[in-house]
Structure 1
Amino acid sequence: MAKIAATVDFAVEGCISREIGMLRIALEQEDDGRWIAEVIDLPGVMAYGNSQAEAEGKVEALALRVLADRLEHGEVIPELSRLFVVAA
Protein backbone atom coordinates (compact mmCIF):
# COMPACT_ATOMS: atom_id res chain seq x y z
CA MET A 1 0.00 0.00 0.00
CA ALA A 2 1.50 3.36 -1.01
CA LYS A 3 2.09 5.89 1.73
CA ILE A 4 1.58 9.63 1.40
CA ALA A 5 4.50 10.37 3.71
CA ALA A 6 7.55 8.51 4.90
CA THR A 7 7.05 6.07 7.74
CA VAL A 8 9.07 5.81 10.92
CA ASP A 9 9.02 2.50 12.79
CA PHE A 10 9.72 2.31 16.51
CA ALA A 11 9.08 -0.29 19.18
CA VAL A 12 6.72 0.52 22.04
CA GLU A 13 6.38 -2.15 24.74
CA GLY A 14 5.86 -5.10 22.42
CA CYS A 15 3.90 -3.12 19.83
CA ILE A 16 5.01 -1.65 16.56
CA SER A 17 3.95 1.94 16.01
CA ARG A 18 4.07 3.72 12.71
CA GLU A 19 3.82 7.43 12.19
CA ILE A 20 2.31 8.19 8.80
CA GLY A 21 2.00 11.88 8.18
CA MET A 22 -0.18 13.22 10.98
CA LEU A 23 -2.05 10.04 11.98
CA ARG A 24 -0.24 7.38 13.98
CA ILE A 25 -1.04 3.68 13.65
CA ALA A 26 -0.20 1.21 16.42
CA LEU A 27 0.04 -2.46 15.43
CA GLU A 28 0.06 -5.42 17.80
CA GLN A 29 -0.09 -9.15 17.24
CA GLU A 30 -2.71 -10.96 19.33
CA ASP A 31 -2.09 -14.33 21.01
CA ASP A 32 -4.14 -16.07 18.31
CA GLY A 33 -1.84 -14.70 15.58
CA ARG A 34 -4.16 -12.00 14.26
CA TRP A 35 -2.96 -8.41 14.05
CA ILE A 36 -4.85 -5.42 15.41
CA ALA A 37 -4.21 -1.92 14.14
CA GLU A 38 -5.40 1.26 15.80
CA VAL A 39 -5.27 4.87 14.66
CA ILE A 40 -4.12 6.47 17.90
CA ASP A 41 -5.35 9.94 16.91
CA LEU A 42 -8.89 8.71 16.11
CA PRO A 43 -10.35 6.97 19.18
CA GLY A 44 -12.20 3.78 18.36
CA VAL A 45 -10.70 3.38 14.87
CA MET A 46 -9.38 -0.20 15.01
CA ALA A 47 -9.25 -3.15 12.64
CA TYR A 48 -8.08 -6.77 12.70
CA GLY A 49 -6.23 -8.61 9.96
CA ASN A 50 -4.61 -11.98 9.42
CA SER A 51 -1.34 -10.17 8.64
CA GLN A 52 0.21 -6.89 9.69
CA ALA A 53 -0.31 -5.48 6.19
CA GLU A 54 -3.98 -6.51 6.13
CA ALA A 55 -4.69 -4.90 9.51
CA GLU A 56 -2.87 -1.73 8.49
CA GLY A 57 -4.78 -1.50 5.20
CA LYS A 58 -8.13 -2.04 6.89
CA VAL A 59 -7.51 0.57 9.58
CA GLU A 60 -6.29 3.13 7.03
CA ALA A 61 -9.49 2.64 5.00
CA LEU A 62 -11.63 2.91 8.14
CA ALA A 63 -9.82 6.08 9.23
CA LEU A 64 -10.50 7.69 5.85
CA ARG A 65 -14.19 6.75 6.12
CA VAL A 66 -14.40 8.27 9.61
CA LEU A 67 -12.69 11.48 8.46
CA ALA A 68 -14.95 11.73 5.38
CA ASP A 69 -18.03 11.27 7.55
CA ARG A 70 -16.88 14.01 9.90
CA LEU A 71 -16.26 16.38 6.98
CA GLU A 72 -19.68 15.63 5.49
CA HIS A 73 -21.27 16.54 8.82
CA GLY A 74 -19.45 19.87 9.03
CA GLU A 75 -16.91 18.97 11.69
CA VAL A 76 -13.58 20.79 11.63
CA ILE A 77 -10.69 18.33 11.51
CA PRO A 78 -7.42 19.99 12.53
CA GLU A 79 -5.41 16.96 11.35
CA LEU A 80 -6.42 17.76 7.76
CA SER A 81 -5.58 21.46 7.88
CA ARG A 82 -2.41 20.96 5.81
CA LEU A 83 -3.85 18.39 3.42
CA PHE A 84 -5.94 20.74 1.27
CA VAL A 85 -5.12 24.23 0.05
CA VAL A 86 -7.26 26.51 -2.11
CA ALA A 87 -5.46 27.36 -5.36
CA ALA A 88 -4.86 31.04 -5.89
Structure 2
Amino acid sequence: MKLPVILTKGEDGFIIAECPVLPGCLSQGKTREEALANIREAIELYLETGEAPQLPPAFEVAEVEVAI
Protein backbone atom coordinates (compact mmCIF):
# COMPACT_ATOMS: atom_id res chain seq x y z
CA MET A 1 0.00 0.00 0.00
CA LYS A 2 1.33 3.43 -0.90
CA LEU A 3 0.23 6.37 1.23
CA PRO A 4 0.96 10.08 0.77
CA VAL A 5 3.46 11.68 3.14
CA ILE A 6 4.12 15.40 3.51
CA LEU A 7 7.62 16.48 4.54
CA THR A 8 8.30 19.92 6.00
CA LYS A 9 11.28 21.43 7.75
CA GLY A 10 10.68 22.26 11.39
CA GLU A 11 11.99 25.30 13.21
CA ASP A 12 14.55 23.11 14.99
CA GLY A 13 15.97 21.84 11.67
CA PHE A 14 14.34 18.42 11.90
CA ILE A 15 12.24 17.11 9.01
CA ILE A 16 8.60 16.60 10.00
CA ALA A 17 6.72 13.81 8.24
CA GLU A 18 2.92 13.59 8.22
CA CYS A 19 0.57 11.09 6.62
CA PRO A 20 -2.54 13.21 5.90
CA VAL A 21 -4.86 10.23 5.36
CA LEU A 22 -4.13 8.91 8.87
CA PRO A 23 -5.22 11.63 11.33
CA GLY A 24 -2.53 12.37 13.90
CA CYS A 25 0.09 10.18 12.24
CA LEU A 26 3.26 12.28 12.52
CA SER A 27 6.95 11.67 12.98
CA GLN A 28 10.27 13.42 12.41
CA GLY A 29 13.93 12.81 11.72
CA LYS A 30 17.24 14.62 11.41
CA THR A 31 17.38 13.76 7.71
CA ARG A 32 14.81 13.09 4.98
CA GLU A 33 15.70 9.39 5.04
CA GLU A 34 15.34 9.18 8.82
CA ALA A 35 12.00 11.03 8.71
CA LEU A 36 10.69 8.65 6.03
CA ALA A 37 11.84 5.59 8.00
CA ASN A 38 10.20 6.96 11.15
CA ILE A 39 6.89 7.79 9.43
CA ARG A 40 6.86 4.34 7.83
CA GLU A 41 7.12 2.81 11.31
CA ALA A 42 4.42 5.19 12.65
CA ILE A 43 2.11 4.25 9.76
CA GLU A 44 2.64 0.53 10.39
CA LEU A 45 1.82 0.97 14.08
CA TYR A 46 -1.23 3.09 13.23
CA LEU A 47 -2.55 0.44 10.85
CA GLU A 48 -2.03 -2.29 13.48
CA THR A 49 -4.81 -0.62 15.51
CA GLY A 50 -7.26 -1.64 12.78
CA GLU A 51 -7.95 1.93 11.63
CA ALA A 52 -8.35 2.12 7.87
CA PRO A 53 -6.77 4.95 5.90
CA GLN A 54 -9.23 7.62 4.79
CA LEU A 55 -8.17 7.57 1.16
CA PRO A 56 -10.01 9.61 -1.41
CA PRO A 57 -10.84 7.67 -4.60
CA ALA A 58 -8.10 9.57 -6.43
CA PHE A 59 -6.07 12.63 -5.63
CA GLU A 60 -3.49 14.89 -7.18
CA VAL A 61 -0.92 17.04 -5.45
CA ALA A 62 -0.44 20.40 -7.16
CA GLU A 63 1.12 23.73 -6.38
CA VAL A 64 -0.48 27.10 -7.04
CA GLU A 65 1.37 30.39 -7.17
CA VAL A 66 -0.30 33.45 -5.62
CA ALA A 67 0.80 37.06 -5.49
CA ILE A 68 1.25 38.52 -2.02
TM-score (norm 2): 0.68
Q: Which runs of 5+ in 2 are unaligned?
A: 55-68
- 1:67 aligned to 20, 23, 47, which one? 47
Q: Which runs of 5+ in 1 are unaligned?
A: 5-20, 80-88
Percent of paired sites with the same residue: 30
Q: Cα offset for 1:32?
A: 2.1
| 2:21 is equivalent to residue 44 of structure 1 | no
Alignment of 1:1-88 (within 5 A): 21=2, 23-70=3-50, 77=52
Larger RCO, structure (CA 8 Å, separation 6 or more): 2
The two structures, once aligned, show a CA RMSD in angstroms of 1.9
Q: Cα offset for 1:68?
A: 1.1
Structure number with the higher strand fraction is 1
Write the letter of the residue equivalent to 1:64.
Answer: E
Runs of 4+ in structure 1 displaced over 2 angstroms?
Answer: none
Larger radius of gyration: 1
